[in-house]
Amino acid sequence: MASSLPGTAPSSDVPSLRTCRAERPRDGVPDSTKADGRLAKTDDVLLDHIKNGFQSPGSFMAMPPKGGNPRLSDQDFRDVLAYLRHEFGKK
């Protein structure tokens, strides 16, 4: 990411949260706070996944680049990550 501005949280009005549909396993929402959970990854890795898309091993569906919204900016990606860490990270 070009800018070093931190993301802004918390708000459910974060742009990609209006376009993104989170992948959910059949048995419910995964625990992202576990040591091997999704939020255990570095910001750089997660920002890359948000920007370029990602498919979890064994997943039937990939998250598209930019959550399917090509208008999202690098700052939007940081805002999404800040929101996710605030709402779903370890307390």
In a domain, 7, yes or no: no
What is the CATH classification number for the domain harbouring 81? 1.10.760.10
Q: Is residue 35 part of a domain?
A: yes
The per-residue pLDDT for range 16-49, each reduced to its tens digit, is 555 555 555 555 556 676 777 788 899 999 999 9
Question: Which of 77, 44, 83 shows the shortest CA–CA distance to 63?
Answer: 77
Q: What is the domain count for the chain? A: 1
Q: How many other CB atoms are found less than 10 A from the CB of residue 82?
A: 19
User: pLDDT tens digit string along 6-21?
Assistant: 666 555 555 555 555 5
Query: Does 23 reside within a domain?
Result: no
Instruction: Tell me whether residue 14 is in a domain.
Output: no
Is residue 47 domain-resident? yes
Q: Would you say residue 74 has pLDDT above 70?
A: yes
Give residue 66's domain range.
Answer: 31-88
Classify residue 69: in a domain, yes or no: yes
SS3 86: helix
- Dist. CA 39–CA 8, nearest whole Å: 17
